[in-house]
Amino acid sequence: MELKTKRLILREFGKRKTDVTDIVEGANNINVTKWLLVLPCPYKKKDAIWWINHCKEKKKKKESFDFAIELKSEKKLIGGIGLSSIKKDQGTATIGYWLNEKYHKQGFGTEALKSVLDLPSIN
């Protein structure tokens, strides 16, 4: 599944060769990781590779939906957003997201969040 907004593409992790490098660049920052529940610091290449593979496994099991946040203008992964703890019968889920600090305070998180919240249904 791929979602598009004015400035962003929300897509599967691992679609671009640069995803590992972009994830490490954004997640290897205490100002990003301090707000996340579970993320190693320092964040290394092996962690990004594990995350991409983990997202692919969760997708197969339909346990959650994880999207890389790609900035269209730069064709660069600038963060991630995901839905987990999905309870279809209650219409609820937990949402979490992170952004590379270079892209904070520009409305990218809000734009990504609105796109995910507008999902008509999760099958």
- The 10s digit of each residue's pLDDT in 49-83 is 999 999 988 877 777 889 999 999 999 999 999 98
pLDDT exceeds 90 at position 123: no
Q: Is the pLDDT of residue 122 over 60?
A: no
Whether residue 123 is contained in a domain is answered as no
Task: Name the residue type at position 99.
Answer: L
Could you give phi then psi for residue 103, rounded to 5 degrees?
A: -110, 15
> What CATH number should be reported for the domain holding residue 108?
3.40.630.30
Q: Tell me what the mean pLDDT of segment 82-89 comes to.
A: 85
pLDDT category, 110, cuts 50, 70, 90?
very high
Q: What domain range includes position 104?
A: 3-117
Cα(118)–Cα(10) distance, integer angstroms: 13
Number of domains in the chain: 1
Residue 12 lies in a domain: yes
Torsion-angle region of 50 (φ positive above 0: left; ψ -120 to 50: alpha; else: beta): alpha
Q: Of 95, 96, 82, which is closest to residue 3 (Cα–Cα)?
A: 82
> Quick check: is 122 in a domain?
no
* Pick from 5, 10, 4, 7: nearest CA to 65: 10
Residue 51 lies in a domain: yes
